[in-house]
Structure 1
Amino acid sequence: MDIDINTVRVARSRADCVLRPGEAFLGGGTFLYSEPVPAEVTGLVDLTGMGWEPWSVDGSGLRVAGTCTLEELLAGPGRLGASSEGPYRGLGIVGECVSALTLSAKVARTATVGGNLALGLPAGSMVGLFAALDAVAVVWTPGVATGSTGRAGSREVAVSDLVTGAGVVDLAPGELVREVRVPAVALGRRTAFRRASLTPTGRTAAMVTGRAGERAPRITVTASVAAPLSLYARDHDMLDRWIDWIGGNDGWYEDTHGSHEWRAAMTRRLAHEALEELGGAA
């Protein structure tokens, strides 16, 4: 850990979330504290002081705050999805997606949903979880909206579109992930999860999440690709053509945790297993 900064501010209001020169946002900080702080960062703004409710659910769906820890995600939405039937069965993959990060209990108590999304790492399994659930991220923008309210703005972006490359996220300077919203219809759909790594406790190298749909299951691939990819797969032949297309467009991600060829083979196998599981009624 190499922390060399001058200031830490605890944000307690929307106005406090406007970054000053040299500042960056701090969520759980588990990744930030594991890497040298970039030289241009001289101060941190701690978002945990905002006091956001970790999660809530109502008739419109599920809302998960950017500062919701992975432990809180497991204890809340993860618990709701424990039953294979009922209005929240889509959340049955929450536990598996959290476990895919191979976290210690200490890290799970601190690491946040918004932080995992904002990092944009291929193995960041919160992207695969919420992309499968057709979620949108509510992004707070630093600009001040016009009109009498004087409130800063916000925008929504599909979680499946939030990560655009390995470590590249559709967030402009000063923007932050306020919350993730999952529509009620997705909460009640059956979901599937598959994962592969080179070692039992290794970093996720291929991950497939899926959700049953009215016409076709939606299959989402992460970890083996730089940015999430999704397909409404009507059958296995269609799925094979899509996976061939990924390879034909040099879409497989490669690092020390898995080669192109191995990740492609694992993704194909896992995707077919997920599609098989999701076949039939939604």
Structure 2
Amino acid sequence: MDMNTIEERIRTTDPGLWREGDAWLAGGTVLFSYGSQTLRRLLDLGSAGWTPLALTEDGLEIAATCTIAELYAYGDPANPARAGRPALELIRQCCESFVASFKIWNMSTVGGNIATALPAGPMVSLTAALDGEAVLWGPGGSVRTLPVADLVTGDGTTALAPGELIRSLQLPAAALASRTAFRRLSLSNLGRSGVLLIGRHLPGEAPDGGMRLTVTASTKRPVRLDVPAAYDAGDLAAALEAAIPPELYHDDLHGHPRWRRDMTHLLAEQIRRELRPH
């Protein structure tokens, strides 16, 4: 799509240059698909040169400009980084949840998918489920971190302040070492996610070895709840009802709220059974 209101494109990573009428440009797959009648400048992160992925003792750092193709390649089962980090299996499961053309696969970025904040955004699902934190750069040199689960506040809305950009996503080592379970449903084969749930076993983080359940796609924003190992199916259903009011379920052509609610409960129970202590 032509964006005939754009007057200038500036290659920069400096939030201090941001002004009203600007937008950060990474892959641009969403921005150029929908266009804009108000934007005047694009602040282009394309030449930032940030290392796409870096593994340390503290965990995995994913640059906001890391493309989906780069992340998918990192999730290869043959990657030595997978040893002792079973949760890295989620990388490919979440990447494959995109309804992705060649352009999206190779141009769309992890940070862009999160900043767009669509309920079905699989990078939101991945990073929220693994206790990911976003490192945010703002005007005036400000730097802050915010859990991805709190950064995405609704359908297309975030807690980003004017001019802030996502610099990177930090996934902690403890989360990467966890056993996980992944469930996803769509109304059509290869369709956009209508429900996407991830459970993460908490052997060293909860006294009874429960799980952390992250609900996305069926809800307007990520919902996380800790589920004790002692919970049965009824307890889990009650916890979901308390955590997700009816108005929080997303409603669009990819799924009716009632269907999303029922499938959320179904998949959550499947995950509880898969991850419960044996």
Q: Settle same-fold status: TM greater than 0.5.
A: yes
- Which residue matches 2:47? 49
Tell whether 2:169 aligns with 1:180. yes
Distance 1:63 1:159 in 2: 14
Q: Which moved more, 1:260-269 or 1:18-27?
A: 18-27
Query: Residues 61 and 181 of structure 1 are in contact (CA less than 8 Å); yes or no, is this contact kept in structure 2?
Result: yes
Distance 2:177 2:252 in 1: 36
Any unmatched runs of 5+ in structure 2?
Answer: 204-208
- Which residue matches 1:275? 272
- Which residue matches 2:2? 2
- Which residue matches 1:105? 102
Any unmatched runs of 5+ in structure 1?
Answer: 144-151
- Which residue matches 1:120? 117
Distance 1:3 1:86 in 2: 46
What code does the residue aligned with 1:157 have? L
Select the residue among 254, 260, 271 that pairs with 1:257: 254
- Which residue matches 2:33? 34
Query: Residues 86 and 179 of structure 2 are in contact (CA less than 8 Å); yes or no, is this contact kept in structure 1?
Result: yes
Equivalent pairs: percent with the same residue?
Answer: 39
What SS does the aligned partner of 2:27 have?
A: coil
What code does the residue aligned with 1:2 have? D
Distance 1:101 1:130 in 2: 15
What code does the residue aligned with 1:59 have? E
Tell whether 2:89 aligns with 1:88. no
What is the deviation of 1:81?
8.3
What code does the residue aligned with 2:210 have? A
Query: Residues 202 and 211 of structure 2 are in contact (CA less than 8 Å); yes or no, is this contact kept in structure 1?
Result: yes
Query: Residues 114 and 124 of structure 2 are in contact (CA less than 8 Å); yes or no, is this contact kept in structure 1?
Result: yes
1:124-152 CA distances to partner (integer Å, 9 max, x unpaired)? 11111111111110001112xxxxxxxx1
Distance 2:154 2:103 in 1: 29
1:207-245 CA distances to partner (integer Å, 9 max, x unpaired)? 101111023111100111111001111223332002223
Select the residue among 232, 237, 262 that pairs with 2:226: 232
Query: Residues 15 and 138 of structure 2 are in contact (CA less than 8 Å); yes or no, is this contact kept in structure 1?
Result: no
- Which residue matches 1:147? none
Q: Count the aligned residue pairs.
A: 269
Distance 1:171 1:60 in 2: 25
Distance 2:25 2:35 in 1: 14
Distance 1:57 1:237 in 2: 40
Tell whether 2:213 aligns with 1:219. yes
What does 1:144-159 correspond to in 2, within 5 Å? 152-159=141-148
Distance 1:71 1:59 in 2: 24
Query: Residues 54 and 65 of structure 1 are in contact (CA less than 8 Å); yes or no, is this contact kept in structure 2?
Result: yes
Pick closer, same or farther for the CA change 1:247–1:127 going to 2, 3 Å. closer
Distance 2:180 2:16 in 1: 36
Distance 1:247 1:22 in 2: 35
Distance 1:117 1:7 in 2: 25
Query: Residues 15 and 164 of structure 2 are in contact (CA less than 8 Å); yes or no, is this contact kept in structure 1?
Result: no
1:184-226 CA distances to partner (integer Å, 9 max, x unpaired)? 1111111111111110121111110111102311110011111
What code does the residue aligned with 2:100 have? L
Distance 1:231 1:82 in 2: 31
Tell whether 2:53 aligns with 1:59. no
1:131-177 CA distances to partner (integer Å, 9 max, x unpaired)? 1111110001112xxxxxxxx12000011111111111010110010
Query: Residues 88 and 187 of structure 1 are in contact (CA less than 8 Å); yes or no, is this contact kept in structure 2?
Result: yes
Pick closer, same or farther for the CA change 1:275–1:17 going to 2, 3 Å. farther
Pick closer, same or farther for the CA change 1:75–1:248 going to 2, 3 Å. closer
Pick closer, same or farther for the CA change 1:175–1:156 going to 2, 3 Å. same
